[in-house]
Structure 1
Amino acid sequence: MSHTSPPDQLHDTAPAVEGARPETRGIELIADGERHGRARDLFLIWAAPSVSILNLTIGASLILLGLEVWQAIAIIVAASLLWIFPGIIAGSGPAAGTAGSVVTRAMYGILGNRLFVAVVGWFIGAVFLSLTWLASSFMGADLLRRTGLEDPIWVPIGVTIVVATITIFVAIFGHGLILRAYPYMAGALFVIFLVVAGFILPTVDWRYTAPEPLTGAALWSALTIGFTILASSPLSFINSPDIARYLPRDTKPSHITLATALGGAVPFIVFTSIGVLLATGLSTPAFEAGIDVALLDLLPGWLGPVLVVGVVINTIALNAMTAYTSSMALQAIGFRLRRIPAAIIVGLVGTALTIYLVLSSNLVEAANLMLQFLVVVSGPAMAIFTVDVVLRRYRYDGVDLFDDTPGGRFWYSGGWSIPGITALLVGGAATAVCLATSVWVGPVAELTGYIDLSVPVGMLVAAALYAGLLRTPLGKDGRP
């Protein structure tokens, strides 16, 4: 067995439950005696990252697509239903007693999972680290510009570095600090963003109609592209088992699903819808200046700094969670790193990508384009994970998952699970050919008049193919 063999891991007794010291445990198995918490604790843990300026930005961008207010809010509600998927897979964490990046060995095989985690896990992590740091960089830089610090390069870079440093500090302290701090962070964010919403509402054009109302294929194109952008958020949280893994083994999966899904969906609906309303009162020059700048212009002088503080808190909440789980992904790939050095590496990579985006794009352009491309990997991966959880009924043996020797239960065919890898690749290809972005339009999207069916098609293809192949001789070794 490898350096991650379960007997060694069960003797690691440094979970830092209270957050008083850095958590040294990474992907190691968690003994039943070290489990703690309740399923409902997950609600506020997931709410804190979802009270986001990124949601406001995405909501405003739906108006740019040409949608009416009611149409935009309708697809926000539809996309919020996808939060059920992170909820379903979260229960695999306490069932297996380890991180989701180890649980996926059951889907892709020992070696196949290394490729999956390296490409899919890291891509998702890098996108969200950079996008949320980008939001705080732009808003922090704009606030400092109003005080006389106007350097367009070094000011946003400096903000990025400061926020990234705090974020990685939280990630280093890990699960215990997340469990203790996130409920307070969620409460502070709700208050800040609701106060901001109170100042936004008087600017809303309640009689707003699109300048050129969309009909036919143009309307379906805008609706489906908007849905894809929105769907990328819940579908990206394939790390939800990592946050739930300390829960007692007998915690009901249905309770975990409900707390996780509602924690993500409720603020997602509320604050993305507020972004839609915000956009109705903005002029074209305001859009061109950026939603972040326009929002600060709408607020009284005392509230602007408070909002920026809120954005920074949200950024830390989301990215600390991402960096925390990405550090365990590095371990699952096979790097001989403790979790803390791995978290620092994740932070450096995310900071570098954020600085590149700061210098090359604005927030709306970066968010929409990257979130659309994200579904090529996140949609099929989430579908496969969900199917596996449902078929196995949360029966994951942590000891078997760490047996990476030929002949182990999850070694499959030379270390690769043919059903899992095939479903992921074919599902990703199906997503790509149905995708419609500003730089890539798949052949199916082109034939349908730029209607973007990437999310439902990619997920259905991946789910059906994975479930089907498990029932053939190709999947006999990995059959639940």
Structure 2
Amino acid sequence: MSTPHEVSTPVDDGGRTRVRASFEQRGIEPVPVEERDGHPLQLFWVWFAANISILGIPLGATLVALGLNLWQALVVAAIGAFGSFALVGLISIAGRRGGAPSLTLSRAVFGVRGNVLPTLVSLGSRLGWETVNTATAAFALLSLSALLFGTDADAHQVPVLAIACILIFVFLTVAVSGMGHSFLVRVQKYATWAFGALNVFVAAFLVATVDWSAVTSAPAGPAVAMVVGVGIIAGGTGIGWANAGADMSRYQAPRVRAGQLVASASAGAGIPLVLLIGLGSLLSVGDPSLGSASDPVAAIRDLLPEWVAVPYLLAAFGGLLLSNHLSVYSAGLTTLTLGIRIKRVYAVIVDVVVTTAGAIYFMLFASSFYGPFITFIALLSVPVTAWVAVFLVDLTRRADYDSAGLMDLSRSSAYWYRGGVEWRALTAWAVAIVLGYLFTRAQVTADEVWFTGALYDTWIGQNGLGWVMSFVVAGGIYLALGGARGAGAVARGEKSARR
């Protein structure tokens, strides 16, 4: 369907003429109902593509480092991945109802001004993951160049080549994310098959090298380690994507059922994640050194002969690229939600400039990379999870959203509330963050601890459940303050106004 918000190209299709949308000009404004013709299978491929990244393998190594055997790791991976992406699917329901991105719809929950703080946190999370993706992909491309052309694999020795690797990744990201929703959905679907095939090839070789006697004789770890593992997997997978759920579902047709949206996100992401996390666990049980490696991605590369290392690095680069496509697209929408008045494609460019600078710094100047950034992103899971709880409680009573109110940042907005802030939502969110951090320790290495919460020594803190506490407290306080009832009243008022 050609719309005023797209640049379209006619395509010959066996005597029929159909129109292929090639460039999305729409920003964060709600998609008109008549233009929402998406279906759940599209979202399945989007989330599948975003999660075939090799970053799932180190997560599996982490589970084994906790003391879990392979079967426990697989159970933990399934619960953490499928469960956390079910939350993404729930947020997607709001996108189908309101036709707008997640953080834009969040204006209805927190107020057009109160929503600024959750939006900034969400943007920080997206930019953090994009920096990890960009730097990791550049390292993979640098290693590929070393194998194929004999260049130095140390970024410090070949800084120009390292920057070139970053720019190649960034260019390929913008080439898809900048085009917008329709083009991104198509690329994610077909690229999944290509890079998925490479992953299967490499995985088959790696499985053949496993010490199966070590795998079968590995003792089971304590149940408490499984609890911790679920938290690690959920925090490193679905929780990080939760605030992007509606970004991709806003084009879904109104007839699409809520259960289909939840299933498409949960299965689409859960299937590749369980396979990759399981592979990482399998390799680590057979070779415990993988779990303690400072760079597990490079450690796996070193296990491979050159003829397998090349497809491994290509699969690594491709998987990270597919993940970055979606993350950058979402970050562009989140940037616009802050009230910055630029076109969506320019917001995408602004975001990748930031992550490019971050990747250059961490590749060429920082003494370490993964530790500080993974810790930073893990810390952001507390406020993101608190936002998810408040948003979902609100969603239980909000049947739809006022399109004009979402885009109006003035006093006339339906979501102005008091001074532009819905204080019940913001209070619940803030209190939950403080309490969540009281149960949290930010630890980069054994010797480098950023801070330790006062309640970290409790069972909740010791088992890494600060983010769960944040979720429960945020939702509970918002309910206690009558937030869900308020959402229902607003929704009914909006319906009456339209009648």
Same-fold status (TM-score > 0.5): yes
**Matched-pair contact (CA < 8 Å) for 1:91–1:253:** yes
Cα 1:269–1:212, aligned 2, differ >3 Å: closer, same or farther? closer
Q: Which has the higher strand share?
A: 2
Q: Is the 8 A contact 1:40 1:256 kept in 2?
A: no
Q: Could you tell me how far apart the structure 2 residues matched to 1:78 and 1:442 are?
A: 27
CA contact (8 A) 1:290 1:363 kept: no
Q: Distance in 1 between matches of 2:170 and 2:475?
A: 36
SS in 1 for 2:29: coil
Query: In structure 1, which of residues 408, 430, 434 is the aligned counterpart of residue 439 of structure 2?
Result: 434
How many Å apart are 1:208 and its aligned residue? 3.3
Partner of 1:450: 462
Amino acid at match of 1:231: A
Tell me, yes or no, if the aligned pair for 1:327 and 1:346 is still in contact at 8 Å: yes
Over 3 Å counting, the alpha-carbon distance change for 1:204 and 1:254 in structure 2 is same
Kindly state the Cα deviation for residue 343 of structure 1 after the two structures are TM-superposed: 0.6
Q: 1:229 aligns with which of 228, 232, 236?
A: 232
What is the alpha-carbon distance in structure 2 between the residues aligned to residue 201 and residue 214 of structure 1? Answer: 21
What do the CA deviations read for 1:87-110 (whole angstroms, capped 9, x no partner)? 011021121122212100111100
* Alpha-carbon distance between aligned partners in 2 of 1:88 and 1:16, rounded to the nearest angstrom: 31
Cα distance in 2, alignment partners of residues 38 and 175 from structure 1? 13
Which stretch of structure 1 is more off in the superposition, 191-200 or 20-29?
A: 20-29
Q: Per the alignment, in what secondary structure is the counterpart of residue 444 of structure 1?
A: coil
Matches within 5 A, 1:244-393: 244-282=249-287, 284=289, 287-288=292-293, 290-359=295-364, 360=366, 365=371, 368-392=374-398
Contact preservation (8 Å) 2:94, 2:102: yes
How far has the Cα of 1:84 moved from its partner? Answer: 0.8
Is 1:466 matched with 2:470? Answer: no
In 1, are the aligned partners of 2:143 and 2:313 still within 8 Å (CA)?
no
**Contact conserved, 1:470 with 1:478, CA < 8 A, in 2?**
no
Match of 1:74 in 2: 75
Distance 2:221 2:285 in 1: 20
Aligned match of 2:99 in 97, 100, 107? 97
**What TM-score do you get using the length of structure 1 for normalisation?**
0.88
Q: Shift of the alpha carbon at 1:134?
A: 2.5
Provide the aligned C-alpha RMSD in A: 2.9
- Quote the Cα distance in structure 2 between the aligned partners of 1:93 and 1:318: 20
User: Structure 1 residues 382, 263: closer, same or farther in 2, change over 3 A?
Assistant: same
Over 3 Å counting, the alpha-carbon distance change for 1:89 and 1:99 in structure 2 is: same
Q: CA deviation at 1:227?
A: 2.9
Work out the CA distance in 2 between the residues paired with 1:206 and 1:173: 46
CA contact (8 A) 1:376 1:431 kept: yes
**Contact 1:161/1:351 (<8 A) preserved:** yes
Separation of aligned partners in 2, 1:69 and 1:413: 53
Match of 2:135 in 1: 134
Query: Structure 1: how far apart are the matches of 2:85 and 2:302?
Result: 33
The answer to whether the 8 Å contact 1:38/1:251 transfers is yes
Structure 2 CA distance, aligned partners of 1:224 and 1:370?
A: 22
Equivalenced residues, count: 466
Partner of 1:186: 192
State whether residues 218 and 285 of structure 2, in contact with CA within 8 Å, keep that contact through their aligned partners in structure 1.
Answer: no
Contact 2:72 2:220 in 1 (8 A): no
**What is the CA–CA distance in structure 1 between the aligned matches of 2:88 and 2:475, rounded to whole Å?**
15
Secondary structure of the residue that 1:248 maps to in structure 2? coil
Shift in alpha-carbon separation, 1:473–1:333, aligned structure 2, 3 A: same
How far 1:276 moved relative to its partner? 0.8
Distance 1:209 1:259, change over 3 A: closer
Pairing partner for 1:203 from 186, 206, 209: 209
Change (3 A) 1:215 1:295: closer
Query: By how many angstroms is 1:287 displaced?
Result: 4.7
What are the superposed Cα offsets for residues 61-116 of structure 1, whole Å, 9 maximum, x if unpaired? Answer: 22233333333323212212121110011021121122212100111100011232
Q: Quote the residue 1:171 is aligned against.
A: 177
Residue 275 of structure 1 deviates from its aligned partner by 0.9
| Structure 2: distance between partners of 1:383 and 1:321 | 23
Distance 1:335 1:260 in 2: 30
Higher mean C-alpha deviation, range 404-413 or range 104-113: 404-413
Partner of 2:59: 58
1:148 to 147, 150, 153: 150
AA aligned to 2:187 is A
Partner of 2:457, secondary structure, is: helix
Aligned residues of 2:397 and 2:484 also touching (Cα < 8 A): no
Measure how far apart 1:58 and its partner are.
Answer: 1.4
Give how far 1:435 is off.
1.9
How much does 1:419 deviate? 1.5
CA shift for structure 1 position 135: 2.1
CA distance in 1, matches of 2:386, 2:327: 20
1:13 aligned to which of 5, 19, 31: 5
Question: Which amino acid letter does the alignment assign opposite residue 396 of structure 1?
Answer: Y
2:428, 2:477 within 8 Å by CA — same for their partners in 1?
yes
Whether 2:409 is the aligned partner of 1:404: answer: yes
Secondary structure of the residue aligned to 1:22 is strand
Q: Which runs of 5+ in 1 are unaligned?
A: 1-10
CA shift, 1:299, in A, is 2.6
Alpha-carbon contact 1:82-1:231 (below 8 Å) kept = yes
Check whether the contact 1:445–1:451 (CA below 8 A) recurs between aligned residues: no
Deviation at 1:212, TM superposition (A): 11
How far is the alpha carbon of 1:25 from its aligned partner? Answer: 0.9
**What amino acid does structure 1 have at the position aligned with 2:113?**
L
CA separation in 1, counterparts of 2:486 and 2:400? 21
Deviation at 1:246, TM superposition (A): 1.2
Deviation string, structure 1 residues 167-190 (Cα, Å, up to 9, x no partner)? 012111011111211111121232
Contact 1:204/1:277 (CA < 8 Å) preserved in 2?
yes
Is residue 23 from structure 1 mapped to residue 30 from structure 2 by the alignment?
no
**Structure 2, unaligned runs of 5 or more:** 10-18, 444-448, 493-499
Cα pair distance change 1:295/1:377, threshold 3 Å: same
CA drift of 1:278 comes to 1.6
- Contact conserved, 2:103 with 2:334, CA < 8 A, in 1? yes
